Amino acid sequence: MPSCNTKTRYSSKKMAQDYADSYNRDPLVKEILATYWCELHQGWHLTRDKPRNIGWFRRIQELIDKVSGHTES
Ligand SMILES: [Zn+2]
């Protein structure tokens, strides 16, 4: 059973992604947020991923930086 009944549901991926992006930008954050579609609630949820996934996280961060025009720090 999905355990997402109490999770926030976002009606659009953009809303969820915007929140996740701003959250993930925090250099002090120990976990990162990723979006996923929930069939049960017909909406988007955020899930926390551990830093072991730092590989794809960095790739995503690079994409975000490209999109937002930020230079790598
Ligand atoms: Zn759900």
Q: What is the pLDDT of residues 11-62, one digit of tens each?
A: 999 999 999 999 988 888 778 888 989 998 999 999 886 655 556 667 777 7
Instruction: Indicate the number of domains in the chain.
Output: 1
If one compares 1 and 57, the residue with the highest pLDDT of the two is: 57
Instruction: Give residue 65's Cα distance to chain centre.
Output: 15
Whether 3 is in a domain gets the answer no
33: its two tokens? 């947020």
- Centre of ligand 1 to C-alpha 14, Å, is 17
- Centre of ligand 1 to C-alpha 9, Å, is 7
- Centre of ligand 1 to C-alpha 55, Å, is 26
pTM: 0.57
Q: Which domain holds residue 62?
A: 8-70
Whether 56 is in a domain gets the answer yes
- Centre of ligand 1 to C-alpha 26, Å, is 26
Whether 24 is in a domain gets the answer yes
Whether 1 is in a domain gets the answer no
User: Both ends of the chain: CA-CA distance in Å?
Assistant: 42
- Centre of ligand 1 to C-alpha 6, Å, is 8
